[in-house]
Amino acid sequence: MLQIMEARPDWPMYVDVFELPSPRLASGSAIWSDMTSVDTTEQWREVSVDKHHTSDPTIRLPGFDLPCHTWSLMNCFQTGQDPCHANLHKWSLVQSPSCDCGQQQTMNHTVDTCPLAKFEGGLNPLHKVDNDAVIWLESTATAALTHTHTPV
């Protein structure tokens, strides 16, 4: 089909197929400039931020069957985008980045060092989503991240 189209530059679709626009961004390349076959699973392994938690993107992560709130909170801790007061303050949603213990409430503070909320063993055991992790997520972490601070 391409050979037939290539021989007919007067056809309207000729321009669409053979006279492609150049990429708009210097940093990127147009998807049509590279038509080689790609192993998306291998590509995922190379770039995924989650590659430390699973080696196969097709299997369910531990805790996948948790209730939505718990699963969502777990994912927040895995991505570092948890609703801690430091993030909420950065996003102008609360006035103070402080934890109830008085220190700045970041994800690492909540999991590793907070005297009121830390998870024994830290972030890596939390990612295994065992029974202790589920209990911590549903009680301690949820309570620690409850927004008792005044909204902006």
Which positions touch Zn ion (CB under 5 A)? 99, 101, 114
Q: How far is the CB of 102 from Zn ion (least distance, A)?
A: 7
Q: From the CB of 152, what's the least distance to Zn ion, in Å?
A: 21
In terms of CB distance, is 5 or 112 closer to Zn ion?
112
Q: How far lies 139's CA from each of 3, 73, 108, 119, in Å?
A: 65, 11, 18, 11
Judge contact between 95 and 151, C-beta under 8 A. yes
Smallest gap from Cβ 66 to Zn ion, in A, equals: 24
Least separation in angstroms between CB 116 and Zn ion:
5
DSSP string for residues in 83-140? --HHHHHHTTSBS--B-TTSSB--HHIIIII-TTTPPTT-HHHHHTT-HHHHHIIIII
Beta-carbon contacts of 149 under 8 Å, excluding residues fewer than 6 positions away, are 85, 88, 94, 95, 96, 98
Closer to Zn ion at the Cβ: 129 or 141? 141
Cβ closest to Zn ion, residue 20 vs residue 143 = 143
Q: 100 or 132, CB closer to Zn ion?
A: 100
